[in-house]
Structure 1
């Protein structure tokens, strides 16, 4: 148990009550009591004042009414009584245990005792209301905890799981499954809906081409407007003013013009 007595056994600091605004520090080790103070004042004469320190053994502190009075004025009567108990050798080993070990001990208590323990100190109130404690309580009282229950506990908390009946848990899990399946169906059907709404690529290209022709009716296909003909080894362009005769195509009309 002596290994649990880490240095310092107790330590507290703070400012004194008005009109005294000095800063104080009070600590208790395994052999001594240390009282420190820093003078805080707007007066020029106090600017060069140095911090003070008073160090006494446990026996001297128990017989020093002046220091006990100062501790009581600055930090209160409860702090004074607690530090006097430490100097007398009354150590609170339970408060010095690690949280993991305390949680294992608390889980052996009945729920009524856990509620009473939570009222003893701020630390035990946090431990008794923590998710780690209620998770251990559920796993200790149940043979197995399914992955579905563990996943549900992430949403509602292990304390809610502990006080929920099996029938209600089954209802919550089934509702959660149904909600998850609906969300998955919506995610799967969403891209299909988008594909149905979007037009076919070839149809889109045709519509684009037709709209361009309507907007520029005088422009012909560049392959037709810049076509060249070869006759007797000569390259030439057709005369745009030449109109083909009825019943003959454009190539025959061009040949007759050359002849």
Structure 2
């Protein structure tokens, strides 16, 4: 399965924490870790400095504690752990799925399973609470979706519409109509 990963596996860029203004770029390919940094300074001794680059094999990266400390300071411990996992050939394939495919897979889960999945990671929380997913769920479970429901979904979101009972939903739509009627009256006056 790891042989399916070719080229760039992970890439991130950031500015070093203050007071430094140095720029850092980290790239993990299928065979090496590339660390680039640019010294950014107004001081004359640094003006003509060229960007630096360090290429390391996976094993060299895992052995280079100094480089790992730099990465941890600039990108955080979570990124460092993720890079170390990549270098040890422990890939998170779910994280690499295209968003559309991930939404398609999640849409087949039961509602309880979606709630549980949303608690496993930030990525899944974002996916499980996305309007795109809940629009699909509403269309699967509801018989009719009116134009007013679509317009209300822009304001409150499809998840809110799904979990709102029918009477409350009709009340929200009625309030929305009244608000638009009042706005139209105000514009006419």
TM, length-normalised to structure 2: 0.76
Q: 5+ unaligned residues in a row in structure 2: which ranges?
A: 185-189
Post-superposition offset of 1:138: 1.4
Rg (Cα) greater in structure: 1
Q: What does residue 14 of structure 1 align with?
A: 14
Q: State the secondary structure of the residue aligned to 1:37.
A: strand
Change (3 A) 1:172 1:44: closer
Q: What does residue 28 of structure 1 align with?
A: 28
Q: What does residue 90 of structure 1 align with?
A: 90
Query: Is residue 4–residue 96 contact of structure 1 (8 Å, CA) maintained in 2?
Result: no
Query: Is residue 4–residue 97 contact of structure 1 (8 Å, CA) maintained in 2?
Result: no
The higher-RCO structure (CA 8 Å, 6+ apart) is 2
Query: Is residue 4–residue 93 contact of structure 1 (8 Å, CA) maintained in 2?
Result: no
Aligned partners of 1:71, 1:77: CA distance in 2, in Å? 8
Q: What does residue 161 of structure 2 align with?
A: 161
What root-mean-square deviation, in Å, do the aligned CA atoms of Structure 1 and Structure 2 show? 3.3
TM, length-normalised to structure 1: 0.58
Query: Is residue 139–residue 145 contact of structure 2 (8 Å, CA) maintained in 1?
Result: no
Post-superposition offset of 1:109: 3.0
Q: What does residue 218 of structure 1 align with?
A: none
Aligned partners of 2:156, 2:66: CA distance in 1, in Å? 54
Q: What does residue 239 of structure 1 align with?
A: none
Post-superposition offset of 1:110: 3.8
Q: What does residue 144 of structure 2 align with?
A: 145
Q: What does residue 204 of structure 1 align with?
A: none
Q: 5+ unaligned residues in a row in structure 1: which ranges?
A: 187-259
Aligned partners of 2:23, 2:43: CA distance in 1, in Å? 16
